[in-house]
Amino acid sequence: MATIATAPRPPGPLAAGRANYLNVETTVRSWLGTTDHKRISILFLLGTTASLAIGGSFALAMRLELLTPEPLFMDSLTYNRLFTLHGVVMVWLFMIPAIPTVFGNFLLPLMIGARDVAFPRLNLASFYVYLAGAAVVFGGMLASGADTGWTFYPPYSTTTPTAVVPVLLGVFILGISSTMTGINFIVTTHTMRTVGMHWSRLPLFVWTVYATSIIIVLATPVLGITVLLVAADHALGLGMFDPAHGGDPILFQHLFWFYSHPAVYIMILPAMGVITESVATFARKNLFSYGAMVVATLGIAFIGFLTWGHHMFTAGMSTFDVAAFGALSMFVAIFSAIKVFNWVATLYGGAIAVSVPLLYVFGFLFLFSVGGMTGVAQASTSLDVHWHDTYFVVAHFHFIMVGGTMMAFLAALHYWFPKMFGRRYPERWAVAATMLVIGGFILTFSPQFWLGNAGMPRRYHTYPAEYQALHVISTAGSWAIAGGLVMTLVYLVVSLWRGRPAGANPWGSASFEWLTPSPPPRENYATPPRIDRGPYDYMPPPGAEDGAGHG
Amino acid sequence: MASAGQATRLEPHFQDLAKQTHAARLGMWVFIGSEALLFSALFALYAAYRVAYPGAFEDAAGHTNLALGTIMTAVLLTSSFLVAMSLGRIRRRLARDAVLFLAGAAVLGATFLVLKGMEYAEHFRDGIYPGVWYRASALPGQGANIFFTLYYAMTGLHALHVLGGVLLLAWLAWLVRRGRIDDAYHTPLELGGMYWHFVDVVWVFLWPLFYLLR
C-alpha cells in the first residue's frame, strides 16, 4: 500500500502534495506498526478482501461440482471440507469483521469528530489477533481441513478425524479480535464525541456500529468458551457434550446459536448503517424518521438475543418454546420492516442521483426483503419442519445475510472510496460490475428456494437428476458474481493510481465524515469540529428553527 | 508536580485527562461484562446439568473439600481487600504501603493457586478426572462425571484468570515502586483492582455451586 502515496499523480488538487494519512509516512514499517485508525482500516480491508477471495473460490469449486448429479471432480470428503471452510472463512473472516473493522474503523472517529478511536494500540492489536486467527484457521485447512460444517455440531465434531481443533481454535482467536474491536467502538462512541455531537445527532452508521459492538461484546465470549469446550473434547476427551459421559449435545446447539444467531445481526446492522448513509446522500433528503431508525437498530440488537431457538425447531423442543422463539423471531421482522419502509420513504420525493452505491442499495433492498419474508415464513414451525436443512434455508440466509452484507460492503466500498483514497472510480465499469454482481446473486440463490422446497437437502455432494436444471442455473449465477467481483477489484486497484481526483465531498453529502479533506490528514481535523446540526440536514424541515432537526 | 505528571500521561487523541480516564474505566467495565458472559456460558451448562442430575450433583458436591474451598474463598476475599487498601494508600501518597499491600495481594493470589492445585491432586488420587478419564469408584454414574467435568472446566478457567491477576498485581506493585503510579495518576491500579475484584466475584459464585450446595 505504501506505493499508493509515492506513485506519480495526475494533475489536480492532490498534485499540490497536501499531507494526508496515506502519504504522511510511506515505509512498510509505518503501515505495520500504525495506530492510525484509517491505516488500520486499510490493513483490515486487505485482510477481509483476501478472505472474501478465498472463501469465494471454495464456493465456486462447490458450485462447479454441483453441475452434475454424479460426482464431477471431487469426492464427498473434499466437498464436506469445502462447505465447512467456505462457511468458516466467510462468516468469521469476512462477514463479521468486514464492515465494522474496515468502514467502522475508518469512519467512526471521523463521523463523531474525534482524532482516533479511544484505544489505538488495542485497535492495531485487534488486527494482528485477526491475522493470527486467520493463520490458525488456514493452518488447520492445510493440515486436513474440518468437515463438520461451520456449525461444529457434536458428537460428529468431537469424533471426526479431520483437523477440527485448529479450526475451532482459530475461531476462538478471531472472537478475541472481534471483542477488542467491539470494546474499542463502544468506548469511542461514548467518550470521544466532539462538542455538540449529541446522541440524537449521531449518523446512523455510528448507531449501527455501536449496536453491533454491544452484540459482539456480549455474544462472542459465549461462542468462544463453547468452541473451546468442543476443541477440548476432541483433543483431550473432555466429554462435556458427550452422552456417553453424561453430556447433552443439544446444549451445544443452544450455546452455539446464542452467539451465532445474534452474529447475523452483527453482520447486518452495520450493513443497514451503510444503506442508511447512502440513501440519505443519494436522495439528498433528510432521513425519514431518524428516531424510528435508532429504535429499530437497538431493538434488533436486543431481540436478536432471544431468537436463537429457531435454529432448533426440529431438535426436540417443547411446543411452547417453539412458539415463543417463533414469535420473537417474527418480532425482529417488524424492526427490519420499519427500516425498509424508512429507506423507501426517504427515497420518495428525493432528488435521487443514481450512482453505483445506490444501485447496491437497490440490490440490498430486494435481497433483504425477499430474504426477510422467507425468514418470517420459516419462523412458522409447520413450514420450518418441511424446509429444515434444505436448500431453502441456504437460499434464505444467502439472500438476507450474505446478500445484505455483500451489497452493503460493496456500496460502502464505492461510496467511501473517494473519502479513503481521494479518487473516483470509473462509473461505467462500476455499473457493469454492479449489474453482474446483483444479477448473479439473484441467479445463484433464487433457484435454491425451489430446490429446497422440492426437497433438496443442504450439504449433499450428489443429487437426483431431476434437480439438475436448477443447479446449473445456480452455478451459472456464481460465475457472474465472481466476474463482477474480479472486475470491481481490477478497476478499484487501477483507480488508486489513475482515478480522477475526487475533491473533499464528491457526493455533496451532509454527513460529518465529509467535513475533512479526502483523503483525511493524519489528525482528521485540525481543530475539533463543533456540531450544530443533524447528519442529514439537506433541507430544513418545515417550521424548524433550531436547525438540529433530524427528520 | 501533579499537572506536569498528567501532561505526560495524556495521549494525543484525548482532549483532557478526565476524558481519557473515563474512557479507560468504561473500557474496563465493558471488558468485565464480556468476561462475565464468558463464564455465564459455563454457568448455563451447570444449571442445565444440575436440573438433569439433581441427586448426583448433591452427592458429588458433598465430595469436594469444603474446608479447603472455604479457606480459598477467604484467601481471595482478603487479597481483594488488600488491593482496595492499596488504592486508598496511593491516594494518600503512601506509596511504600501500597507496594506492600499489592505484593501481599499477589502472594495471596498465588496461595489460592497452590491450594487449588492441592485440591486437584486430591481429586486425582480418587480417580476424579474430567470427561472420558473419569475413574472414581466412590462416585460412579454420569451425573457425578459431568459434575466434575464442569468443576474442572469452571475452576480451571477461573484459575487461569487468577494466574493472570497475580501477574497483573505484581506488575502494578512494580509500577508503584518505580513511581509510575502516584496520587495524581493511578488509573492502571484502579483498573487492575476492578479486574481482580471481578475474578473474586466469579469465585464467590463458584464456591456455593461446587462446595455448599450439597
Domain membership flag for residue B185:
yes
Task: Inspect the interface and report whether the beta carbons of B19 and A114 lie closer than 8 Å.
Answer: no
As a whole number of Å, the end-to-end CA separation of chain B is: 57
Of B22, B27, B149, the CB nearest to A239: B149
* B97: closest CA of chain A, how far (Å): 31
Per-residue confidence (pLDDT) for residue A541, from 0 to 100: 53
Q: Is the dihedral of CA B121, B123, B127, B129 positive or negative?
A: negative
Provide the residue range defining the domain that includes B62. Answer: 17-212
Q: Report the alpha-carbon distance of residue B204 to residue B200 in Å, rounded.
A: 6
Nearest CA in chain B to A229: B153
Name residue A501's beta-bridge partners: A423
Task: Inspect the interface and report whether the beta carbons of B37 and A118 lie closer than 8 Å.
Answer: no
Q: Is the dihedral of CA B91, B93, B95, B96 positive or negative?
A: negative
Task: Inspect the interface and report whether the beta carbons of A246 and B143 lie closer than 8 Å.
Answer: yes
Pair A304, A332: CB distance under 8 Å: yes
B65 backbone φψ class: left, alpha, beta (φ>0; ψ -120 to 50):
beta
A351 to A280, A542, A551: CA distances (angstroms): 10, 18, 16
For the stretch B157-174, pLDDT in tens is 999 999 999 999 999 999
* Cα pseudo-dihedral B200, B205, B206, B208, rounded to 10: 130
- Best to test chain A binding among B31, B37, B49, B151 (most A CBs inside 10 Å): B37
* A131: closest CA of chain B, how far (Å): 21
Name residues whose C-beta falls within 8 Å of residue B139's C-beta, 6 or more positions apart in sequence.
B59, B60, B63, B128
CATH number at residue B90: 1.20.120.80
A520 backbone φψ class: left, alpha, beta (φ>0; ψ -120 to 50):
beta
Task: Inspect the interface and report whether the beta carbons of B145 and A183 lie closer than 8 Å.
Answer: no
Of A120, A187, A237, the CB nearest to B27: A187
b/e for B130-165, b at 16 or more Cβ within 10 A?
A: bbebbebeebebbbbbbbbbbbbbbbebbbebbeeb
**What is the distance, to the nearest Å, from the Cα of residue A149 to the centroid of all Cα atoms in its chain?**
20
Nearest to A474 by CA among A62, A85, A159, A173: A62
Question: How many CB atoms are closer than 10 A to CB B92?
Answer: 10
- Numbered residues of chain B with Cβ closer than 8 Å to any chain A Cβ: 11-13, 15, 19, 22-23, 26-27, 30-31, 33-35, 37-42, 44-45, 48-49, 52-53, 130-134, 141-143, 145-146, 149-150, 153, 157
Label residue B10 by pLDDT band (50, 70, 90): confident
**Mean pLDDT across chain B, nearest whole number?**
93
Q: With an 8 Å Cβ cutoff, is A530 touching chain B?
A: no
**Cell of residue A8, nine digits:** 506519480
Q: With an 8 Å Cβ cutoff, is A114 touching chain B?
A: yes
Domain membership flag for residue B3:
no
Q: Report the alpha-carbon distance of residue A372 to residue A291 in Å, rounded.
A: 22
Nearest CA in chain A to B28: A183
A151 to A156, A193, A236: CA distances (angstroms): 11, 39, 20
Per-residue confidence (pLDDT) for residue B129, from 0 to 100: 94
Name residues whose C-beta falls within 8 Å of residue A361's C-beta, 6 or more positions apart in sequence.
A275, A278, A279, A282, A343, A407, A411
Domains, chain A, in order of start with CATH, read 36-515 (1.20.210.10)
3-state secondary structure of A501: strand
> The complex's ipTM?
0.94
Number of domains in chain B: 1
Domain membership flag for residue B183:
yes
- What percentage of chain B has pLDDT greater than the value 90? 86
Q: Name every chain A residue with its beta carbon within 8 A of the beta carbon of B51.
A: none
Q: Name every chain B residue with its beta carbon within 8 A of the beta carbon of A192.
A: 13, 19, 23
Domain membership flag for residue B121:
yes
Q: Report the alpha-carbon distance of residue A481 to residue A441 in Å, rounded.
A: 6
Q: Report the alpha-carbon distance of residue A358 to residue A111 in Å, rounded.
A: 20
For the stretch B58-67, pLDDT in tens is 999 999 999 9
pTM of this structure: 0.93
Pair A114, A206: CB distance under 8 Å: no
Nearest to A351 by CA among A288, A280, A416, A415: A280
For the stretch B162-211, pLDDT in tens is 999 999 999 999 999 999 998 889 999 999 999 999 999 999 999 999 99
* A245: closest CA of chain B, how far (Å): 5
HEC string for chain B: CHHHHHHHHCCCCCCCHHHHHHHHHHHHHHHHHHHHHHHHHHHHHHHHHHHHCHHHHHHHHHHCCHHHHHHHHHHHHHHHHHHHHHHHHHHCCCHHHHHHHHHHHHHHHHHHHHHHHHHHHHHHHCCCCCHHHCCCCCCCCHHHHHHHHHHHHHHHHHHHHHHHHHHHHHHHHHHHHCCCCCCCCCHHHHHHHHHHHHHHHHHHHHHHHHHHCC
3-state secondary structure of A457: strand
The predicted model gives B30-52 an average pLDDT of 97
Of A118, A192, A225, the CB nearest to B38: A225
Q: What are phi and psi of A423, to 5 degrees?
A: -135, 160
Using a 10 angstrom Cβ sphere, with 0-12 exposed, 13-18 middle and 19 or more buried, the burial of residue A284 is middle
Nearest to A217 by CA among A187, A266, A190, A183: A183
Q: Name every chain A residue with its beta carbon within 8 A of the beta carbon of B133.
A: 237
* B191: closest CA of chain A, how far (Å): 15
Pair A121, A134: CB distance under 8 Å: no
Task: Inspect the interface and report whether the beta carbons of A187 and B53 lie closer than 8 Å.
Answer: no
Pair B169, B107: CB distance under 8 Å: no
Nearest to A299 by CA among A272, A267, A331, A324: A331
Of B23, B134, B141, the CB nearest to A118: B23
The predicted model gives B140-155 an average pLDDT of 95
B44 or A526, higher pLDDT? B44
Q: With an 8 Å Cβ cutoff, is A185 touching chain B?
A: no
Tell whether the model's pLDDT for residue B107 goes beyond 70: yes
Name residues whose C-beta falls within 8 Å of residue A81's C-beta, 6 or more positions apart in sequence.
A141, A144, A145, A146, A147, A162
Label residue B9 by pLDDT band (50, 70, 90): confident
Q: Report the alpha-carbon distance of residue A212 to residue A179 in Å, rounded.
A: 11
Domain membership flag for residue B22:
yes
Q: What are phi and psi of A459, to 5 degrees?
A: 65, 25
Domain membership flag for residue B43:
yes
A12 backbone φψ class: left, alpha, beta (φ>0; ψ -120 to 50):
left
pLDDT in tens, chain A (551 residues): 334 444 444 444 443 457 899 999 989 999 999 999 999 999 999 999 999 999 999 999 999 999 999 999 999 999 999 999 999 999 999 999 999 999 999 999 999 999 999 999 999 999 999 999 999 999 999 998 899 999 999 999 999 999 999 999 999 999 999 999 999 999 999 999 999 999 999 999 999 999 999 999 999 999 999 999 999 999 999 999 988 888 999 999 999 999 999 999 999 999 999 999 999 999 999 999 999 999 999 999 999 999 999 999 988 889 999 999 999 999 999 999 999 999 999 999 999 999 999 999 999 999 999 999 999 999 988 899 999 999 999 999 999 999 999 999 999 999 999 999 999 999 999 999 999 999 999 999 999 999 999 999 999 999 999 999 999 999 999 999 999 999 999 999 999 999 999 999 999 999 999 999 999 999 999 888 999 999 999 876 555 444 444 44
* B77: closest CA of chain A, how far (Å): 26
Domain membership flag for residue B56:
yes
Tell the residue number behind the cell numbers 433528503, with chain if given.
A285
* DSSP 8-state class, residue A21: T
Name residue A457's beta-bridge partners: A390
A36 to A203, A422, B47: CA distances (angstroms): 22, 17, 45
Of B34, B45, B132, the CB nearest to A251: B45
Q: With an 8 Å Cβ cutoff, is A521 touching chain B?
A: no
Domain membership flag for residue B178:
yes
